Amino acid sequence: MTEKSAIYREVVDANAAYAADFGDKGNLALPPARGFAILTCMDARLDPAKYAGLAEGDAHVIRNAGGRASDDAIRSLVISHKLLGTREWFVIHHTDCGMELFNGPTIATLLEQSRATAAFDGTIWTNPQHEGGSTEGWHIAWLNFKDLAQSVRDDVSRIRNHPLTPETIPVHGFIYDVKNGQLVPVEADAST
């Protein structure tokens, strides 16, 4: 058996401490008690439980790179409402998002050369290795963006106008500021 990493042990130890103080959370119901869902970025600086005041059992949190309204994010939101009763949705992107630092051809070209982690000098991405790549990156919609507020408006609009989204569900757009922890509302497009 291979030796477990330090990170592996940290996660297992942290879980043991959490489970030891689990209290009555084993009695929580499956549907979110407060009836809402958040779609947000996977960025490690964002903690939706803290920035939106959530406890276990309160709300659905759907995360991906950018907090984008991908087909899979919409799949989760539809399940969230249709089967689990959420009635209000939030789309929360954030300042200094990594999704603003590349475009589709950039990451596809990097991956074609190597799957190892690339380096970024503030302007250009480069590969430290030049072997073991794949062309599969050209077949993925990376959903990067250049205009942060517009990316929120686009995703709110896509979710709002999706045929599987009921008209009764409010879809709110926000930008989370990684410098001060504040959520700033983004007004939807006038047409939506």
Residues that bind Zn ion (CB under 5 A): 41, 43, 97
Min CB(155)–Zn ion separation in Å: 13
Task: Pick between residue 70 and residue 81 the one whose CB is nearest to Zn ion.
Answer: 70
CB of 96 to Zn ion, least distance (A): 8
Beta bridge partners of 64: 41
Q: Which is nearer to Zn ion, 32 or 107 (CB)?
A: 107
Element (H, E) at 37: strand 36-41
The smaller minimum CB distance to Zn ion, of residues 74 and 152, is found at 152
Burial 162-172, CB ≥16 within 10 A → b, else e: eeebeeebebb
CB of 106 to Zn ion, least distance (A): 16
DSSP for 140-178, please give it: S-----S-HHHHHHHHHHHHHT-TTS-TT--EEEEEE-T
- The least CB distance from residue 65 to Zn ion, in Å, is 7
Q: Which is nearer to Zn ion, 73 or 97 (by Cβ)?
A: 97
